[in-house]
Amino acid sequence: MLLIDCPHCGPRNEVEYAYGGQAHVARPEDPYALDDREWAEYLFYRDNPRGDYAERWHHTGGCRKWFNAIRDTATYEFRATYPAGSARPGTGPGPTSHEGVQP
């Protein structure tokens, strides 16, 4: 069982969550200014790193709020979770709880 630390509810079983893709993907300010390739890149292209990756998660079985997480894609370890709309925290060694993460 994997525990994911919802920034609103605390640690809960992974089955309560739904994955929402890459975090911090900003919608273009003027979508009509994009050509087809740029629009397709916004819609479909995402980073695919080995290591720390900022992701969106939805606590579907709990508070039903979206939040962001930094997860190591190689080990599946969650390094931090933080509320949606907050800046990505540093990902160095440190607490994995939301209590130690600065927005």
Decide if residue 62 touches Zn ion (CB under 5 A): yes
The candidate with the shortest Cα–Cα distance to 80, out of 71, 32, 59, 64, is 71
The candidate with the shortest Cα–Cα distance to 82, out of 27, 25, 23, is 23
Q: How big is the site for Zn ion, counted in residues (CB under 5 A)?
A: 6
Decide if residue 80 touches Zn ion (CB under 5 A): no
Q: Which residue in 11, 14, 63, 83 binds Zn ion (CB under 5 A)? A: 63
DSSP 16-28: G-EEEEES--PPP
The candidate with the shortest Cα–Cα distance to 16, out of 32, 34, 2, is 2
Q: Can you name the residues that pair with 72 across neighbouring β-strands?
A: 52
Q: Which is nearer to Zn ion, 37 or 64 (CB)?
A: 64
Decide if residue 98 touches Zn ion (CB under 5 A): no
What mask, x for binding Zn ion by CB under 5 A, covers residues 9 to 28? Answer: x-------------------
Decide if residue 59 touches Zn ion (CB under 5 A): yes
CB 61 to Zn ion: min, Å: 9
Secondary structure (3-state) at 87: coil
Interface residues with Zn ion (CB under 5 A)?
6, 8-9, 59, 62-63
